[in-house]
Amino acid sequence: MIVLGISGAVNHDASAALYIDGQLVAAAEEERFLRDKHAKGQFPYESTKFCLAYAGIQPNDVDVVAFPYAKIGISSPARWHYAKRHWYAPDRALLALFNGNRRYKRNFKKVMKMLDDLGIDPKQVKFMPVEHHLAHASSAYHLSGFKEKTAILSIDGKGEYASTFFGYGENGKIHKIKEFYDPDSLGGLYGAMTEFLGFEMLDGEFKVMGMAPYGDPKRFDFSRLIKTDGKGFRVNTKLVNCLGLRRYKENGKGYFFSPKLIDWLGPKREGDEIDDPYIDYAASIQDLLEKVALGLIDTYLGDTLKETGKLCYAGGVALNVKLNQRIIARPDVKELFVQPAASDAGTAIGAASYAANELGDSVEKMQHVYLGPKYTNEDCIQACLDHENKPDYDVLDNTTEYTAKLLAEGNPVSWFQGRMEFGPRALGNRSIIGNPGSKGVADRINAQIKYRERWRPFCPSILDTVAEDMLQTGHPSPYMTFTFDVAESWKERIPEVVHEDGTARAQIVTAETNPRYYELLTEVEKLTGNGVVLNTSLNRRGEPMVCSPTDALTMFYGSDLEYLVMEDILVRKIKPE
């Protein structure tokens, strides 16, 4: 059975994913093709075309189209909760009660038009809408590979109405335990504070998380933002996650926090520096998120965790690696699987995997996220010939050895290999890499290559043979979805990838999932003694990760990078003497 999953229902992070007989064969985000981060307001035309072409599938071969957005009936508590909590914005409240399916109807029309435009007959294909948080849950549970009873958690801003999902999976079926509804949203709360701290919602939450270790969470009491008794929570919409007239407005733009928050905490942060008191605000909101989330996990998932210790997790908040570290540290958690594409892009996988499972296919465990386009040496050479800069290039016959030598000498390198990653993390195929033992390389990449805030941390990619010694745990971490405490013996060896609090967001690399990257790390280990490289996504600030060789060349010539390795093709700005 051929199942196409498409996302884009909530106006951002459109993507497509293709399952054939329970195997995930292709997935890509629309932003990579449009070169527009988060592809706001778009549907996944280009990513769907890619998935079908990569698999050799004709549009009329598709059996099922799954979409992560469903009707929510008037009898559901979701619409009544939303209306009650938005009494101060009666237009929103009444709309939820009397036309709560408006967005579903609009999305349905867009999906049908897209299918028709792409040659997929809407009348012949089976259309399966899947509740947003069920799609998140499926993307975690059905792809985790866990066979025993498994606790399931999903936290984001909101889908149709739900913001938080607790459940369990058993024998392939997902069971709901409890949902919470907007505006009572941990993701919405964190997103509102992200805006107050001067970043864009959907893109800046991880910056708040990165700022938090520089601050003191005890300096300010943020408990007035949310009330919780461990069983439930209620966001203070007089301060955050508010709508309409309650919103703070500046230069014609409305924010998800109110003027009362400004009265309490002072002006919204501006600029790129980490400064007082905003670093303490970041620390406080991170601490608050952790405390509330961990308390709710106790209440709703504690029994399942005591039984098997298995937990899987998705939704945008699942990308908060500091919270994930706290979850792993729980004595009742034996293993945590976080869907690497945990944000709404991953709901394309989630909707498709849910539909495939419901219709009888056995969904395979996720083995890797290298699910996007790939390019040959000939493609890379042609991109060089066609590019306006007309770069000279060399064809390497010892690509990993040569690149390892560049890294050992302290040079950052653009590393463009194999199939593009799905999800927000570069995992060694669309990466900028450096030697984490080379002093100053992180500052150089931040300032001269990525053009981003100088305090932003970088992540290590680690050989599986040294991971347990460095991270002091055997917990799997193939996707950079967790931070770990770095062993003291390693901190001086790889200072460029150790964050302010002594942690690192690590990717453990295996030969099975990425043989070329593994070979590179092995060559680096021979030269430096450390089987570790600094790894960050191949893009500049505000841009999507590069997709094609042309994208890589454009990014290369728009930065101070000096070396670009695309498959076996070397492009450099400085010729050897």
DSSP label at residue 140: H
**Annotated catalytic residue: which of 12, 38, 86, 142?**
12
Contact 115, 48 (CB under 8 A): no
Contact 242, 256 (CB under 8 A): yes
Instruction: Write the single-letter amino acid at 98.
Output: F
DSSP secondary structure letters along 492-503? TTSGGG--TTSE
12 is an active site residue: yes
Q: Tell me the H-state helices in 74-131.
A: 77-85, 90-98, 102-118
Q: What share of the chain is helix, strand, coil (3-state, %, to 5)?
A: 40, 20, 40
Backbone angles phi, psi at 534, to 5 degrees: -70, 135
Distance of CA 143 to the CA centre of its chain: 16
Count each helix (H run) and each strand (E run) in the chain, helices first: 19, 24
Encode 126-184 in three state secondary structure. Answer: EEEECCHHHHHHHHHHHHHCCCCCEEEEEECCCCCCEEEEEEEEECCEEEEEEEEECCC
Contact 514, 533 (CB under 8 A): no
- Dist CA 255 CA 317 (whole Å): 19
Contact 419, 570 (CB under 8 A): no
Encode 509-555 in three state secondary structure. Answer: ECCCCCHHHHHHHHHHHHHHCCCEEEEEECCCCCCCCCCCHHHHHHH
Tell me the residue ranges of DSSP E strands in 340-471.
394-395, 413-416, 430-434, 459-463
What number of residues does the chain have?
Answer: 577
DSSP secondary structure letters along 184-236? S-HHHHHHHHHHHTT--TTTSHHHHHHHGGGS-TTSS--GGGEEE-SS-EEE-
- Dist CA 112 CA 109 (whole Å): 5
Give me the residue label for tokens 């590069």: 546
Q: Tell me the H-state helices in 329-446.
A: 347-358, 377-386, 399-408, 441-444
Contact 547, 32 (CB under 8 A): yes
> Smallest Cα–Cα separation from 118: which of 12, 4, 21?
4
Collapsed DSSP state (helix, strand, coil) of residue 395: strand
Tell me: cis bond preceding 476? Omega within 30 of 0 counts.
Answer: no
Q: How far apart are the first and last CA of the chain?
A: 58
DSSP label at residue 556: H
Instruction: Report the 10 Å Cβ neighbour count for 207.
Output: 21
Spatial neighbors of 170 by CB under 8 A, at least 6 apart, are 149, 150
- Dist CA 425 CA 545 (whole Å): 9
- Dist CA 181 CA 184 (whole Å): 6
Q: Which positions are annotated as active-site residues?
A: 12
